[in-house]
């Protein structure tokens, strides 16, 4: 089930100072209409990034949180929204909205609403 | 909703040994009167940093905690105060005070006061 | 109980932007029929990676989550499935399936099913 | 409230393999009699480090835990002992003792003693 | 209580892709009969590592988990077994056994056995 990756398909993103290496197809296939997909939709010298938005290591600069980008990129890789117990889903929701990953927004909103209900129903201390 | 970033707008901060890449507009727009905004308010060769405060990678040196700077910079990016369940809000408050990010100080003070109330009301062991 | 490693045996993987250094024998011995083993099964200039899938540091590019690859590679090193309390086993399961590490899949499925049962039996709030 | 940092004031420490960038004044002002302060008390070519204890990046080598040095250096920066909920205070205490940061030792000892009392009073399982 | 480190005493280990900087005396003094001590017991060009097991940065390659090596190396530094609340002691035990750090094995086994008892005595859900 490994997918073939063409030579020019690998991209490295510098998200807020942390590097993520992935493929153009991961960024564009799962949610082709997202802003993230559209950033990488052109042919390889046609990405929406101007040279000034590429760092000295050749990585594409994105001014967002690396912490919450991690579950977003994993979702684009394998279609599952998975995150660790200490991670705040509100942070993931912010990034999903920013990058336009619409398909996980309802799930995240539901998780956050449920947490809020649980908190309100806690016995008073 | 992505915002255009001019060539000279990208800045890398070396906060206590960890690199954060962001844009001048993120640092200066949300809280223009903060000390952090004022550090980057000049034109690009007019930042408040002297060359001795720039490291060999061109990053601006800031002698503070990288751990608690992370939610601060995210707040400046998206206007939301979001942090993981293991992160101590007192650390974020210290950084908010240092950098002069006034708009999140009351929220943080309230969260910390509430935690303290909850602790005091725990049944004795 | 240290095992001898031949000169060409060391490999570095770039998994989603994070580097893992290990040996070919770790990748191929424990689960020889896995996709991961088969990627490194050839002689050393015969790996399944084309040059376009090797980064500028000589690391083999793999477009997957570094967070959940960590317990997978440790399992291949020492035969134990061990992970920290904050790590989501569903993330490990996804990677085990992708890389074809069949021998830990039933255990992970059982752990996840049990967690789900426990959640459903919680008292209503 | 930012403090001026002279050209030669920046120092980078390699603590157990992790880099911390800070200023000489942070290391020496808060606890001037600590071993850590004394290591950096000389004029800048008079630090207690011999060249053999400086790594190839110019960082001062210190053979201690980076994990527990983090709250120590933050304490020296802002005068507050702050750490995340997953961090073991016994680790911080060890580093405080090693570096001679006397002013936080009683607080840490009290926190650890209290945790021990709480554990002993848990109902038997 | 700082200990003097000779010029050639510093070593950097590449444990599974993460760098740890320490001294030969840390690796060899506390548990001189451990496999880890014996790996670094020779004079400095007599370590048990062949050149093929040294990476391009001069670090000694060790094919083990960096996550669980951290408390091991700290134990060798200060004689205390200390780890954070999210860290799985079974992972530390595996590394202690692999590297032959015999003096912490009984403690770790006891901690793990106790956790198992506690789990078995939980009320059924």
Query: Is residue D49 scored above 90 in pLDDT?
Result: no
How far is the C-alpha of D29 from the C-alpha of D41, rounded, in Å?
Answer: 10
pLDDT reported for residue E108: 97
CA distances to A70, C15, D64, D70 from B65, in Å: 22, 28, 19, 8
Domain range A7-119, CATH class: alpha beta
Quick check: B117 contacting A, CB < 8 Å? yes
**Mean pLDDT score, B4-23:** 82
Which of C10, C19, C84 faces E61 most closely, judged by CB atoms? Answer: C10
Element spanning E22, H or E = strand E18-23
pLDDT reported for residue C5: 43
pLDDT reported for residue C7: 43
**Mean pLDDT score, D42-53:** 69
Residue D114: count of CB within 10 angstroms of its CB? 12
Where b means 16+ CB within 10 Å and e means fewer, D83-105 reads: bbebbbbbbbbbbbbbbbbeebe
Of the listed ranges A33-47, B85-99, D80-94, E80-94, the least confidently predicted one is A33-47
> The complex's ipTM?
0.82
Quick check: D112 contacting E, CB < 8 Å? no
Tokens linked to E68 = 């669980």
pLDDT reported for residue E125: 47
Residue E65: count of CB within 10 angstroms of its CB? 25
State the distance between the two ends of chain E, measured CA to CA, in whole angstroms: 52
SS (H, E, C) chain C: CCCCCCHHHEEEEEECCEEEEEEHHHHHHCCCCCHHHHHCCCCCCCCCCCHHHECCCCCEEECCCHHHHHHHHHHHHHCCCCCCCCCCHHHHHHHHHHHCCHHHHHHHHHHHHHHHHHHHCCCCC
pLDDT reported for residue D88: 96
Helix axes E66-78, C66-78, angle to 10 degrees: 70
Where b means 16+ CB within 10 Å and e means fewer, E85-96 reads: ebbbbbbbbbbb
| Domain at C9-118: CATH code | 3.30.710.10
Tens digit of pLDDT for each residue in A78-92?
999 999 999 999 999
How far is the C-alpha of B14 from the C-alpha of B71, rounded, in Å?
Answer: 16
pLDDT reported for residue C17: 95
From the candidate CATH numbers 1.10.287.3510, 3.30.710.10, 3.40.80.10, 3.30.499.10, the one assigned to the domain spanning B9-120: 3.30.710.10
Tens digit of pLDDT for each residue in A91-102?
999 999 999 999
Tens digit of pLDDT for each residue in E71-99?
999 999 999 999 999 999 999 999 999 99
**Pick from C9, C14, C17: nearest CA to C47:** C9
Tens digit of pLDDT for each residue in E14-65?
999 999 999 999 999 999 999 999 999 876 555 667 778 999 999 999 999 9
Q: Count of alpha carbons within 13 Å of A80, Cβ hemisphere only?
A: 17
pLDDT > 90: percent of chain B: 71
Nearest CA in chain A to B116: A125
> Which chains would you list as touching E if contact means 3+ CB atom pairs under 8 Å?
C, D
**Pick from D95, D53, B49: nearest CA to D40:** D53
| Residue labelled with tokens 């960890």 | B18
The domain limits of chain D are 7-120
Quick check: D94 contacting E, CB < 8 Å? yes
Where b means 16+ CB within 10 Å and e means fewer, A20-55 reads: bbbbbbbbbebbeebebbbbbbeeeeebebeeebbe
Q: Do residues A111 and A46 lie in contact, with contact meaning Cβ atoms separated by under 8 Å?
A: no
Tens digit of pLDDT for each residue in E50-63?
778 999 999 999 99
pLDDT reported for residue D51: 77
CATH architecture of D7-120: 2-Layer Sandwich (3.30)
Q: Do residues E55 and E61 lie in contact, with contact meaning Cβ atoms separated by under 8 Å?
A: yes
Chosen for mutation from E22, E78, E85, E116 (greatest number of chain D CBs closer than 10 Å) is E78
pLDDT grade, residue D116 (50/70/90)?
confident
pLDDT reported for residue B89: 97
pLDDT reported for residue D96: 98
In E1-125, where does DSSP find H-type helix? 24-29, 35-39, 66-78, 89-99, 105-120
pLDDT reported for residue D79: 94
**Mean pLDDT score, D44-51:** 66
3-state helix, strand, coil in chain B (%, to 5): 50, 15, 40
Q: How many residues does chain B have?
A: 125
pLDDT grade, residue D119 (50/70/90)?
confident
Q: Do residues E24 and E45 lie in contact, with contact meaning Cβ atoms separated by under 8 Å?
A: no
Contacts of B17 in chain D (CB under 8 A): 12, 18-22
Q: Dihedral through CA D45, CA D51, CA D56, CA D59, nearest 10?
A: -50
Higher pLDDT, D51 or D6: D51
Strands D10-15 and D18-23, bridge-based pairing:
antiparallel
| Residue labelled with tokens 């994990």 | D67
Higher pLDDT, E4 or A66: A66
Average pLDDT value over all residues in chain D: 87
Q: Is the dihedral of CA E59, E64, E70, E71 positive or negative?
A: negative
| Fold held by E7-118 | Potassium Channel Kv1.1; Chain A (3.30.710)
| Residue labelled with tokens 């490194």 | C40
Which of B17, B52, B94 faces D78 most closely, judged by CB atoms? Answer: B94
Higher pLDDT, B43 or B18: B18
Phi, psi of D58 (to 5 degrees): 85, 10
pLDDT reported for residue E123: 61
Show pLDDT as tens, one digit a residue, over chain C (125 residues). 344 444 458 999 999 999 999 999 999 999 999 999 999 987 655 566 777 899 999 999 999 999 999 999 999 999 999 999 999 999 999 999 999 999 999 999 999 999 888 877 766 54
Phi, psi of E112 (to 5 degrees): -70, -40
Q: Do residues E56 and E29 lie in contact, with contact meaning Cβ atoms separated by under 8 Å?
A: no
Contacts of D117 in chain B (CB under 8 A): 125
Contacts of A91 in chain B (CB under 8 A): 74, 82-84
pLDDT reported for residue E3: 45
pLDDT > 90: percent of chain D: 71
| Residue labelled with tokens 């403690």 | E107
Closest CA–CA distance from residue C3 to any residue of chain A (Å): 30
**Pick from E117, C57, E82: nearest CA to D68:** E82
Which of A68, A85, A125 faces B121 most closely, judged by CB atoms? Answer: A125
Chain-centre distance for alpha carbon E65: 10
Query: Is residue B1 scored above 80 in pLDDT?
Result: no
Query: Is residue B58 scored above 60 in pLDDT?
Result: yes
Residue D122 gets which letter from DSSP? S
Quick check: E28 contacting D, CB < 8 Å? no
- Indicate yes or no: CB of E35 within 8 angstroms of CB of C80: no
Any long-range contacts for C105-111 (C-beta under 8 Å, 24+ apart)?
C107/C81, C108/C81
Tokens linked to C101 = 């590490």
Partners of D18 in beta bridges = D15
Residue D8 gets which letter from DSSP? G
- Indicate yes or no: CB of D21 within 8 angstroms of CB of B55: yes
Query: Is residue B3 scored above 50 in pLDDT?
Result: no
| Residue labelled with tokens 């200066």 | B28
Secondary structure class of C103 (helix, strand, coil):
helix
Closest CA–CA distance from residue A87 to any residue of chain B (Å): 5
Residue C54 gets which letter from DSSP? B
């Amino acid at each position: 089930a490994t997918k073939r990756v063409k030579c020019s398909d690998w991209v490295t993103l510098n998200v807020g100072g942390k590097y993520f290496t992935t493929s153009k197809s991961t960024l564009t296939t799962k949610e082709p209409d997202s802003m993230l997909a559209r950033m990488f939709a052109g042919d390889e010298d046609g990405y929406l990034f101007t040279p000034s938005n590429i760092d000295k290591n050749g990585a594409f600069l994105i001014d967002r949180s690396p912490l919450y980008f991690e579950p977003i990129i994993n979702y684009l890789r394998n279609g599952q929204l998975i995150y660790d117990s200490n991670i705040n889903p509100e942070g993931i929701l912010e990034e999903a909205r920013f990058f336009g990953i619409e398909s996980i927004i309802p799930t995240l909103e539901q998780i956050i609403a449920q947490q809020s209900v649980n908190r309100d129903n806690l016995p008073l201390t």
